[in-house]
């Protein structure tokens, strides 16, 4: 499991990446697969989809 601080830090990185230029989900997964643990990345992507930011 991960802390809320870790989630927020990594969410911010992902958000910056997709706000700079529109990215597909697969591009995001490929970029962050070695940086962010998989279950956290799934949660971040789900959060972004639900917030309709993506």
* 3-class SS letters over 1-54: CCCHHHHHHHHHHHHHHHHHCCCCHHHHHHHHCCCCCHHHHHHHHHHHHHCCCC
Neighbours of 47 (CB within 10 A): 15
Domain ranges of the chain: 4-50
* Model pLDDT, residue 53: 65
Average model confidence (pLDDT) for the chain? 94
Helices then strands, counting H and E runs in the chain, come out as 3, 0
Mean pLDDT in residue range 29-39: 97
pLDDT given at position 52: 83
At residue 1, the pLDDT reads 87
């Amino acid at each position: 499991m991960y802390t809320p601080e870790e989630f927020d830090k990594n969410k911010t990185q992902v958000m910056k990446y997709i706000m700079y230029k529109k990215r597909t989900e697969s591009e995001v997964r490929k970029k962050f697969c070695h940086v962010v643990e998989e279950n956290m990345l799934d949660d971040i992507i789900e959060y972004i989809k639900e917030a309709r930011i993506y």
